[in-house]
Chain A
């Protein structure tokens, strides 16, 4: 199926950066905001898509990929950051380069109050575990911010999360027709 007509340009920008940056593994727990990158990874013969049962697995998967000489990124929602906290120890203990894209929930017209607690704690939890946090909320600058974080991770060996603001996704439609 061709989704390009309905795919926001900022999501296309993200996949282009990962592809141009020679990412070979994309590990994820899905979210609507990651749907284009996940579809594109599945369709790309040079990229292995790794669906996870919980986000902390992804921290280990991308570290294993680096050990084996491949660049890998982790895609998750803000709720997943909470699931990762102890596994982030791996990144600091061995100074692994790390790049994750986090779609935010619980911060912008979210209908579901259960997303609030972890959404509000996401940036703090990442920073407590030694991960540098960047944020992209303007669709026109997503590409620039993602590229900056990607380069910090893979050119400078840093641990970086880019938070993708919930306003990029827009309001979730709860009523099905």
Chain B
């Protein structure tokens, strides 16, 4: 598993922007750090919920959202470090089998926000095997941009939880900072779904 980090790797910004262009109506939850910047750089939209903290919370937040909105596609876009901190949530997702939830882990094998220290996925952890082991049967890795449309198809099909590990280059594209005001993002998101304030 470690060897493929040196070979086929996708550009994170290009992957995220093209995936989101293919799923314009999907609700998107982002894990803190680079994943939030990638999604914002692809174009801000009210159906995006950006996390700036609560590390490990992206996937379980997306689970609660997916269960509440079964007729919408929900996509969680996060990094390897963020997913590792909340790795048990893959078991909680598998237990519920939400048809409309896709977890996309942008895996560069490093903690990008803190100085590019190696993460467990550079040191032997195979997140696809982890997801499958937890019970997410539709779990796979992609290393080429040709398979990007496959991810979009799973998002749109809503036929069972999907876990995708995307091998990305360990680079740091220019910062693109989404709003940090969690209350504003929350209210904007709910308004887009037609939900009233309490």
A69 within 8 A of partner (CB) = yes
Q: Which of A83-137 contact B (CB under 8 A)?
A: 86-87, 89-90, 93-97
A64 touches B96 (CB 8 A): no
Return the contact of B198 from the options A62, A68, A155 (Cβ within 8 A).
A155
Q: Which of B70-119 contact A (CB under 8 A)?
A: 86, 88-89, 91-92, 95-96
Given the interface pairs A57-B60, A96-B186, the reply to whether A89 lies near B67 with Cβ below 8 Å is no
A6 within 8 A of partner (CB) = no
What is the number of residues of chain B that contact chain A, defined by CB distance less than 8 Å?
A: 38
Which of A30-38, A47-55, A139-147, A168-176 has 4 or more CB atoms under 8 Å from chain B? A47-55
What residues of A have a CB within 8 angstroms of the CB of B7 in the complex?
none
For the complex formed, measure the closest distance between the CB of A26 and the CB atoms of chain B, giving whole angstroms.
11
A64 touches B63 (CB 8 A): yes
For the complex formed, measure the closest distance between the CB of B67 and the CB atoms of chain A, giving whole angstroms.
5
1/0 contact trace for B39-82 toward A, CB 8 Å?
Answer: 00000000001011111111111111111110000000000000
Given the interface pairs A90-B53, A94-B183, the reply to whether A57 lies near B88 with Cβ below 8 Å is yes
B175 within 8 A of partner (CB) = no
B68 touches A65 (CB 8 A): yes
What residues of B have a CB within 8 angstroms of the CB of A57 in the complex?
56-57, 60, 63, 86, 88-89, 92
Return the contact of B29 from the options A50, A64, A86 (Cβ within 8 A).
A64
- Nearest-CB residue, chain A, relative to B57: A60
What residues of A have a CB within 8 angstroms of the CB of B189 in the complex?
67
Given the interface pairs A61-B64, A93-B53, A94-B182, the reply to whether A48 lies near B193 with Cβ below 8 Å is no
Given the interface pairs A53-B89, A69-B68, A69-B193, the reply to whether A86 lies near B55 with Cβ below 8 Å is yes
What residues of B have a CB within 8 angstroms of the CB of A94 in the complex?
182-183, 185-186
Return the contact of A53 from the options B53, B91, B186 (Cβ within 8 A).
B91
B52 touches A56 (CB 8 A): no
What residues of B have a CB within 8 angstroms of the CB of A72 in the complex?
64, 68
What residues of A have a CB within 8 angstroms of the CB of B60 in the complex?
52, 57-58, 60-61, 64
B96 touches A48 (CB 8 A): yes
A138 within 8 A of partner (CB) = no
What residues of A have a CB within 8 angstroms of the CB of B159 in the complex?
none
A25 touches B67 (CB 8 A): yes
CA distance A48 to B95 in the complex (A): 11
What residues of A have a CB within 8 angstroms of the CB of B91 in the complex?
53
Given the interface pairs A53-B91, A89-B53, A90-B53, the reply to whether A64 lies near B65 with Cβ below 8 Å is yes
CA distance A64 to B183 in the complex (A): 13
Name A residues whose Cβ lies closer than 8 Å to a Cβ of B: 24-25, 27, 48, 50-54, 56-70, 72, 86-87, 89-90, 93-97, 154-157
A sample of 14 cross-chain residue pairs with beta-carbon separation below 8 angstroms, ordered by A number, consists of A48-B67, A51-B95, A57-B57, A60-B56, A64-B65, A65-B67, A67-B61, A67-B186, A68-B66, A69-B68, A69-B193, A87-B56, A89-B53, A157-B198
